[in-house]
Structure 1
Amino acid sequence: MIPIDDLLLGAAAVFVVLAIVVLYRAIRGPTMQDRVIAVNVLGTNTVVILALLAAALDVPSFLDIALVYALLNFLVAVAISKFTVDRGGVM
């Protein structure tokens, strides 16, 4: 049977790979909305990775960092969306 720590680390590794795939969309996205969503997904993946690492490595301070990062990710997404709407980039 696989230890739960190894399973959590494996899940974190899968999320890292998915983040690398989404990074392509953040760089090459054909529209600004694609880039905003990709950056938001990258932020969410980072929060999930930090939470998985906190559980696997038994480091509770990673959860604090994940919470702060989630709040910042939300604020950045709102700010970028507002900036895009104000510039007339939404069709």
Structure 2
Amino acid sequence: MTLTAAVMSFAAVAILVTMVMALFRAARGPTTYDRILALNLFGTQTVLLIAVTGFLYERPEWMDLAMVYGLCNFVGVLAVLRFSKYGSFMEDP
């Protein structure tokens, strides 16, 4: 195992640990906005994990998957925030 692979493997494990912490925060957050922020963090860490795993397996096309997942995460968080503020997706503010 090369040094780069060892560092990336450690990074993947560290990302997985912080993903577990983000899920705990999402489940136990004191407010709705804390839970939304924790889910956004979980999605961002998923993007990082996909990118690191793609680097480890030498699959550069996984970066495209990570970018698409990141965009879906962003749009999803905006939709949830709009729904939590207005109670509907269809109403104009």
**Stretch of structure 1 that moved more, 32-41 or 22-31:** 22-31
Stretches of structure 1 lacking an aligned partner (at least 5 in a row): none
Residue number in structure 2 paired with 1:23: 23
Q: TM-score, normalised by structure 1?
A: 0.89
CA distance in 2, matches of 1:38, 1:55: 26
| Partner residue, 2:65 | 65
Q: Is contact 1:6-1:56 (8 Å) kept?
A: no
The residue correspondences of 1:1-91 to structure 2 (distance < 5 A) are 3-87=3-87
CA distance in 1: counterparts of 2:62 and 2:26, whole angstroms? 25
Structure 2 stretches of 5 or more lacking a match?
Answer: 88-93
Q: C-alpha displacement at 1:61, in angstroms?
A: 2.3
2:91 match: none
Instruction: Measure the CA separation in 1 of the matches of 2:85 and 2:33.
Output: 10
Q: Distance in 1 between matches of 2:6 and 2:42?
A: 23
Root-mean-square deviation (CA, aligned residues, Å) is 1.1
- TM-score (ref. length: structure 2): 0.87
Runs of 4+ with deviation above 6 angstroms: none
2-structure distance, mates of 1:63, 1:34:
28
Aligned length: 86
